[in-house]
Amino acid sequence: MKYRFHVLGIPHTITNKDFSACAYTQKALKFCKMMTERGHHVIHYGHEDSDVICSEHVTVVSRKTWNKVYGDHDYKKKWFKYDVEDKAYKEFYRRSIKEIEKRKEEHDFLLPFWGFGVKPICDHHSDMIVVEPGIGYGGAFARYRVFESYAIYHGIGGMDAITSCNQDWYHVVIPNYFDLDEFEFNDKKEDYMLFVGRVYDGKGVNIAIQVTQALGLKLKVAGQLDEFYEKHGFPDHVEYVGYVTPEERKELMKNAMGSYLPSMYSEPFGGVQIENLLCGTPTITTDWGAFSENNINGVTGYRCRTFGEFVAATRSVVNGDISYEACRKWGENFSLENVALKYERYFKTIMDIYTGHGWYEL
Secondary structure in 3-state letters for 227-282: HHHHHHCCCCCEEEEECCCHHHHHHHHHHCCEEEECCCCCCCCCHHHHHHHHCCCC
Number of domains observed in the structure of the chain? 2
Give per-residue pLDDT as tens, 95-128.
Answer: 999 999 999 999 999 999 999 999 999 999 999 9
* Whole-angstrom distance, CA of residue 87 vs CA of residue 300: 45
Do 120 and 204 sit in the same domain of this protein?
A: no
Mean pLDDT of 258-286: 98
Is residue 70 scored above 90 in pLDDT? yes
Rounded (10°) CA dihedral 220, 225, 226, 228: 60
Do 244 and 340 sit in the same domain of this protein?
A: no
Do 147 and 277 sit in the same domain of this protein?
A: no
Structural domain for 216, as ranges: 180-334
Do 11 and 150 sit in the same domain of this protein?
A: yes
Do 50 and 128 sit in the same domain of this protein?
A: yes
Among left, alpha and beta (phi > 0; psi -120 to 50; other), residue 73 is beta
Looking at residue 79, its pLDDT comes to: 86
User: Within 10 Å of residue 126's Cβ, how many Cβ atoms?
Assistant: 9
Give per-residue pLDDT as tens, 136-177.
Answer: 999 999 999 999 999 999 999 999 999 999 899 999 999 999
Residue 352's Cα: distance from chain center in Å? 29
DSSP state of 358: G
Is residue 76 scored above 90 in pLDDT? no
Give per-residue pLDDT as tens, 197-212.
Answer: 999 999 999 999 999 9
Task: Assign residue 82 the CATH number of its domain.
Answer: 3.40.50.2000
- Residue 237 pLDDT level (bands cut at 50, 70, 90): very high
Long-range CB pairs of 32-35, under 8 A, 24+ apart, other chains included: 32/7, 33/179, 33/336, 34/177, 34/336, 34/339, 34/340, 34/343, 35/3, 35/5, 35/340, 35/343
Do 215 and 330 sit in the same domain of this protein?
A: yes
Do 297 and 193 sit in the same domain of this protein?
A: yes
Mean pLDDT of 212-219: 98
* For the chain, percent of residues with pLDDT exceeding 90: 97
Do 187 and 297 sit in the same domain of this protein?
A: yes
User: Within 10 Å of residue 132's Cβ, how many Cβ atoms?
Assistant: 24
Looking at residue 3, its pLDDT comes to: 98
Do 172 and 186 sit in the same domain of this protein?
A: no
Looking at residue 116, its pLDDT comes to: 97
Q: Name the residue type at position 242.
A: G
CB 105 within 8 A of CB 120: no
* Whole-angstrom distance, CA of residue 161 vs CA of residue 85: 33
